[in-house]
Chains A and B, each alone.
Chain A
Amino acid sequence: MRHVLGVLAAATVALSTFSASATQYANPGLLCRESPSAYIGALTWDYISAQNATISDVKAYCPIVSVAAITKVTLRVCTNSSAYGFLQSYSISYDNSVGELLFIDTVNASGVSCTSLDSFPPAYTYAGTVEAELQRQTVNGNNKIVTYVVED
């Protein structure tokens, strides 16, 4: 009997450890759009990313999908902002389960390269939106949002 109890205890620990591990959801930047419903024509998409190929600044909105409370969002972005000295701005708004705004985190990127930006929402965060302020295109290329990984 002692063997059985020992094995059951070990199994319980193993199962609880297994279920407590975080799950990640990787999303392509091409899910981002200029508006929830209308075609505007400033953003373009490729096989993975959403990018601003115009000579005006554009805002892109990316829906965040998760199953449980969100603990982390990581943006993978590419910027060429050093050409004009711009700072690329990315804001992530977080909602609770009834859609009330909990928190807005703003992360920035600059230079001519791709980089990852982390954002950590408060507890009880269940939904959100990435708002990417994509500066105008430059001779170095287009500013873009490549992926965003949600962890819960």
Chain B
Amino acid sequence: MKRLSVGIFIAVLTASSAASATTYYFSGDQCQANAADVYVHPYFGSYNISTTNARNVWCGSSGVAIASGGITSVVATVYDRHATSGQDVACTLSLFSSAGGTPTYQSTATTSSWSYSPMTLSWTGISATGANFATLYCVLPAATGYGASHIANFKVTN
């Protein structure tokens, strides 16, 4: 009987303390833009429809429950429609503690070439103390004959 009770106790402890990862999904259409010619599509994110200038967008996670292990990965889905080398989609991920201040983690990822297909910018294996929420600052190159570059969505796992 004692073995049974110990077994139950261990099972309960395991169930209550196991750290399971949670992933939160965000549409790119909630990103902020620095100019009126960033077009927010109701389904597919934020587009730079300027044919002359790159534009910036700022995106933030909302409603991410603070977890003891902090944010461990962020993945953004973007479209790079500018064929010129160096005119790419570049996103800087910043992670912060709930008080804000200096980022506990910051890193930039860039697309390497244009494509009609979606591309992912990934930040994985993050280990940063107090990484409670995420922001993305993305530079979208000007629109071309291939279409308008845009950020479609991003996801945050903690």
Seen from chain A, the residues whose Cβ lies within 8 Å of a Cβ on chain B are: 1, 3-4, 6-8, 10-11, 14-15, 18, 23-31, 33, 39, 41, 43-50, 63, 65-67, 76, 116, 146-147, 149-150
User: B116 contacts the other chain (Cβ, under 8 Å)?
Assistant: no
Give, as a whole number of angstroms, the nearest-CB distance from A82 to chain B.
21
User: B111 contacts the other chain (Cβ, under 8 Å)?
Assistant: no
Partner of B4, one of A4, A26, A147: A4
Which chain B positions have C-beta within 8 A of A63?
62
Interchain CB contact under 8 A, A7 and B98? no
Partner of A26, one of B36, B64, B92, B94: B64
Partner of A27, one of B33, B63, B137: B63
Seen from chain B, the residues whose Cβ lies within 8 Å of a Cβ on chain A are: 1-2, 4-6, 8-9, 12-13, 16, 30, 32-36, 38, 58, 60-66, 92, 94, 96-101, 103, 106, 132-133, 135, 137
Which chain B positions have C-beta within 8 A of A76?
99-100
**Interface residues of B, dominant DSSP:** mixed
Q: Which of A4, A8, A31, A65 is the most central at the interface, judged by chain B CB atoms within 10 Å of its CB?
A: A31
Partner of B65, one of A15, A23, A29, A31: A23
Interchain CB contact under 8 A, B34 and A44? yes
The docked-state distance in angstroms from the alpha carbon of A3 to that of B7 is 12
Please judge, given known A-B contacts A24-B66, A25-B64, A48-B100, whether A3 and B5 are in contact too, CB under 8 Å.
Answer: yes
Please list 11 pairs of residues, one from A and one from B, whose beta carbons are closer than 8 Å in the complex, sorted by A's number.
A4-B5, A7-B8, A7-B12, A11-B12, A27-B61, A31-B32, A39-B35, A43-B32, A44-B34, A45-B32, A146-B101
Q: Which of B9, B60, B92, B133 is the most central at the interface, judged by chain A CB atoms within 10 Å of its CB?
A: B60
Interchain CB contact under 8 A, B8 and A11? yes
Interchain CB contact under 8 A, A24 and B12? no
